[in-house]
Amino acid sequence: MANFELTREFLEDLKNTIDSKNEKLAAEKVADLHAADIAEIYDELDIDEARFLHLLLDDEKGADVLVELEEDVRESFLKNLPAETIARQFIEQMDSDDAADIISELPQDVKDEVLSKINDVEQAGDIVDLLNYPEDTAGGLMAKELVAVKMNWNILTSIREIRKQAEEVDDIYNVYVVDDDNILKGIISIKKLLLIPTSESISTIYDPDIISVKVDTPDEEVANIMDKYDLVSIPVVDSIGRLVGRITIDDVVDVIREEAEKDYQMASGISGDVEPSDNVWVLTRARIPWLLIGLFGGILSALVMGQYEGDIMKYAGLALFVPLINAMAGNVGVQSSAIVVQGLANNSLGLETLSKKLFKELSVGFTNGIICSTIIFAYNFFMSDSYSLTITVSIALFSVILFASVFGTFIPLALNRFKIDPALATGPFITTINDITGLFIYLFIGRIMFTII
Amino acid sequence: MANFELTREFLEDLKNTIDSKNEKLAAEKVADLHAADIAEIYDELDIDEARFLHLLLDDEKGADVLVELEEDVRESFLKNLPAETIARQFIEQMDSDDAADIISELPQDVKDEVLSKINDVEQAGDIVDLLNYPEDTAGGLMAKELVAVKMNWNILTSIREIRKQAEEVDDIYNVYVVDDDNILKGIISIKKLLLIPTSESISTIYDPDIISVKVDTPDEEVANIMDKYDLVSIPVVDSIGRLVGRITIDDVVDVIREEAEKDYQMASGISGDVEPSDNVWVLTRARIPWLLIGLFGGILSALVMGQYEGDIMKYAGLALFVPLINAMAGNVGVQSSAIVVQGLANNSLGLETLSKKLFKELSVGFTNGIICSTIIFAYNFFMSDSYSLTITVSIALFSVILFASVFGTFIPLALNRFKIDPALATGPFITTINDITGLFIYLFIGRIMFTII
């Protein structure tokens, strides 16, 4: 069934069917559904219901569903299943990249047992190879399944070979051309393959201008390359240029989504990959670290203000604008750091030097500072009876905006230089530091102004 | 040249070559580069240098580069060029979706003139059709170029037709099957096409289980569907099911990136689509609206505190914890809203009802509130000599966290129900409202506590 949408009615109905153990009717209800839709249904079922349903699927569909599940759902689904079932019914039906991903999630002892139960030794070998690569590299993303021809083959041999190899590969986007040592030499598009006359030979029709990645290329960089060059698949080579695998765009779309979500969550003060459907404890655990940073920052702020308690007692007006200074320091810092973090993530920083970037940020801060401090000056000029306060708030706001701009730009760039994820510098972290520094600047200027004016 | 990386040295060298008007050498330097790389180079050149380089490219490469340019660079590049040049040299070499995108950016009078100069009437008609669809729908994303066969054709006719159509299409991922009224009936994968014996007929080999979108499906939904089902291309049908176009994954990757960036920028208080390489004025303009909201919120906070100026004068300790309350209200609000906004964006909210969501959020807020207020109670119990203050800060912090959790969850859900972009509710907006409300809660509880204890 195309374009399925999971409704509460459908789910109720399916649950009732499962609870009444009506295998035939339950199987019918999900028979035409795509594996991704069935996986979505498992999210809403309890584990026994999901297993009941799973037994009604054929092996291939069952394996596809397993691949589509959220990691935590899959974990509880596979728990206590015999290694033989996992190997024969699930892993053997999967592409090597999915198989390796799922096996890597298993506990060490189950992992080895499952690998030993795989009938096809070549497949087991491919999976073991893939397990060696770190998850966040091209090697960790790639599948071993691909279609390749030798440079010196003629077209008829090649087409026969392509047909044979194609049976093992889910989707074919390109045919790769290698030499006798399996060194990647070029590419033939499917389109060209459809259009060539059979009298040609591979060496005359292939395109040697090929974009590839190395096994150790970081996944974010793979994503940037595929996005930039609008590629649907990209070949992966080892350190001496031998073709070892292929990455397809669907896996890269997941990388792009996850990266963007991670940065967004980090900026919002949420750690770990959480979803609204996660339980209370997971959600709490993802949020408490940043709240503790905020709490700690708040205590530091109280200590800073404590140093100026005398001034605050004398000029209570001073306290009134603490929230304003705080808010502006936080906002400006987050803005500045977000632009840098995003630029680093999608490689759009351009060729500007660090000093040019800081100077530009300083100019933006200067402009915004002038605008905001003029407005607050005008407001206090008419509304407050203390000139000292009016001048203090304006000058402090201007200084705080300038400081927060430069600081918000500098910190993520510095973290990046030291190979620390710059997204760490966004959200609560930068807000907290800017809050405290801004407060200090404000109260310090206040003390001077109230003394001299 | 594969895997090109733009360096400052390469750029210097190229600029010198261009400035010395050495056409042959300049052409050589970029001859092997991918269009996306040349577009990146234009970003760093001034407009006359870019135009000089552009004249050295062949028409097809030139058109490809134009498609890859950032919108603002393209605008200044095309400005003052004769309509005939734009039509014949650029537009005629492009796929219909790229052509429509670029024409839609032109001023109205230029637009009509360019359209009238296109030699191929069929192409011009396709572009005019595409211009009718809103940019952010499937119609606005799709291209007219695709490969389709009729259900009643035999395989030999089909293959001949596919070869003919393939010449017009950049990449072929699937062949669509339609009936005599052009109603979409099914799909044949390239793999199947490579494997079938020619004795079969289309009606026996096509797959009728096809996922499609309507022309008016929002682009975010197209992205979610293609992501969920791991599709590389998706057919687009009109309201009665006729096949009218095809969307490929590269365009959808751009949608996913842009959506994620937009939400991230909104959460960081930046409006509009800005990049670190934009100029000072663009960057300032994108940031000032949110700063003004923060400034306005700060003034409101000052007014709220003004109401309690007497209490602050009497118990200066009260002022010290204003930054802490502010920071926590802001952090919790941003966390809560971010989870909802992200859930809405990638359709992962699940089937929970609104009241169940709010209850869950309330539980998370309750847990975090207990933890944080216990810590601050312990801190003040040992560090402060005022029991009233110790109790006020703890109770207020707990209340503020609870309020900010629920409020941060509720507002984006409410905006979404009223078809307003829920991402608006994140960042400075929610921070500002939570700041003021939190402050009010804190000072109100403070007044009561200092009165009764």
Domains of chain A (ranges, CATH numbers): 8-136 (1.25.60.10), 148-249 (3.10.580.10), 280-452 (1.10.357.20)
Q: What does each C-alpha distance from B156 to A198, A224, B153, B201, B359 come to in angstroms?
A: 16, 41, 8, 9, 63
CA torsion A110-A112-A118-A121 (nearest 10°) is: 170
Q: Which of A243, A295, A366, A426 to mutate to test the interface with B (most CBs of B within 10 A)?
A: A295
- Rounded Cα gap, residues B441 and B30, in angstroms: 64
Structure tokens at B242: 């006729």
Contact A178, A240 (CB under 8 A): no
Q: Mean of the per-residue pLDDT values for chain B?
A: 88
CA A260 to chain centre: 5
Mean pLDDT to the nearest integer, B325-352: 82
Mean pLDDT by 10 residues, chain A (453 residues): 77 91 89 90 88 89 91 86 89 92 91 91 92 94 93 85 85 91 92 74 86 94 91 94 94 86 82 75 86 91 90 84 92 87 74 76 91 95 89 95 91 86 77 90 91 81
The arithmetic mean of pLDDT across residues B74-83, rounded, is 87
From B321, which residue of chain A is nearest by alpha-carbon distance?
A: A302
pLDDT of residue A339: 83
Please report which helix (H) or strand (E) contains residue B234, including its range.
strand B233-237
Pick from B11, B166, B274: CB nearest A194: B166
Q: Cα separation of B106 and B112, whole Å?
A: 9
| Of the partner residues A36, A305, A338, the one whose CB lies closest to the CB of residue B270 | A338
Please give, rounded to a whole number of angstroms, the shortest distance from the CA of B298 to a CA of chain A. Answer: 4
Please give the single-letter amino acid code of residue B383.
M
Lowest mean pLDDT: which of A103-107, B96-100, B346-350? B346-350
Per residue in A149-163, pLDDT (tens digit) is 998 888 888 888 888
Q: Does B187 touch chain A (CB under 8 A)?
A: no
pLDDT given for residue B198 in this prediction: 67
Kindly state the percentage of chain B with pLDDT values over 90. Answer: 43
According to the model, what pLDDT value does residue B1 have?
42
Helix, strand, or coil (residue B240): coil
Burial A255-285 (b: 16+ CB within 10 A, else e): bbbebbbbbbbbbbbbeeebbbbbebebbbb
Q: What is the DSSP letter of B218?
A: B
Query: What pLDDT, on the 0 to 100 scale, is given for residue B334?
Result: 87
Chain B, window 366-425: residues with a beta carbon less than 8 angstroms from a chain A beta carbon: 367-368, 371-372, 375-376, 379, 401
Q: Cβ contact (<8 Å) for B284 and A334?
A: no
Is A437's Cβ below 8 Å from some Cβ in B?
no
State which amino acid sits at residue A246. R
The C-alpha atoms of residue B215 and residue B331 are separated, in whole angstroms, by 40
What is the strand order of the sheet A148-150 is part of? A148-150, A174-178, A184-189
Interval B411-436: pLDDT, tens: 888 888 888 888 877 777 788 888 89
Mean pLDDT computed over B219-227 = 91
Contact B341, B334 (CB under 8 A): no
pLDDT of residue A198: 67
3-state DSSP helix/strand/coil % of chain B, to nearest 5: 70, 10, 25
| Closest-CA residue of chain A to B371 | A288
Cβ atoms of A333 and B291 within 8 Å: the answer is: no
Is the pLDDT at B178 greater than 60, yes or no?
Answer: yes
Among A109, A80, A103, which Cα is nearest to A90's?
A103
Interface of B with A in 115-174 (CB under 8 A): 162-163, 166-167, 169-173
Chain B residues in contact with A320 by the CB 8 A cut-off are: 301-302, 305-306, 309
What does the angle CA A295 – CA A301 – CA A307 come to, to the nearest 5 degrees? 145
Q: Which of A6, A228, A322 sits opposite B322 (nearest CB)?
A: A322
Q: What is the pLDDT of residues A387-441, one digit of tens each?
A: 889 999 999 999 999 999 988 888 888 888 888 888 877 777 788 888 899 999 9
In the prediction, which pLDDT does A1 show? 42
Q: Are A190 and B172 in contact (CB < 8 Å)?
A: yes
Q: How confident is the model at residue B350 (pLDDT cuts 50, 70, 90)?
A: low
Residues within 8 A of A (CB atoms), B 55-74 only: none
CB nearest B276 (choices: A260, A339, A363): A339
CA dist A387 → A313, A400, A446, B302 (Å): 18, 20, 11, 16
Which chain B residue's Cα is nearest to A349?
B276
Residue for token digits 């964006």? B345
SS3 B150: strand
Residues A283 and B20: their CA atoms lie apart, in Å, by 62
Check CB contact under 8 Å for B368 and A324.
no
Range B201-207 average pLDDT: 84
Interface test with B, best of A335, A357, A371, A390 (most B CBs within 10 A): A335
| Residues composing chain A | 453
For A267, the closest of B210, B264, B295 (CB atoms) is B264
Q: Minimum mean pLDDT among B47-51, B124-128, B202-206, B344-348: which range?
A: B344-348
B276 and A343 in contact by Cβ < 8 A? yes
For an interface test with B, which of A188, A230, A410 has the most B Cβ atoms less than 10 Å from its Cβ?
A: A230
B contacts of A169 (beta carbons < 8 Å): 191
Cα-Cα-Cα-Cα dihedral of A340, A346, A352, A355, to 10°?
Answer: 20
pLDDT averaged over chain A? 88
Three-state secondary structure call for residue A168: coil
Identify all chain A residues contacting B256, using CB atoms and an 8 Å cutoff. 253, 256-257, 260
Chain B residue with Cα closest to A33:
B209
| CB contact B307 to A (< 8 Å) | no
Please state, in angstroms and rounded to a whole number, the distance separating the CA atoms of residues A42 and B109: 55
Confidence of residue B351 (pLDDT cuts 50, 70, 90): low
- Asked if residue B2 has pLDDT above 60, the reply is no
Q: Rounded to an integer, what distance in angstroms lies between the CA atom of residue B274 and that of residue B281?
A: 11
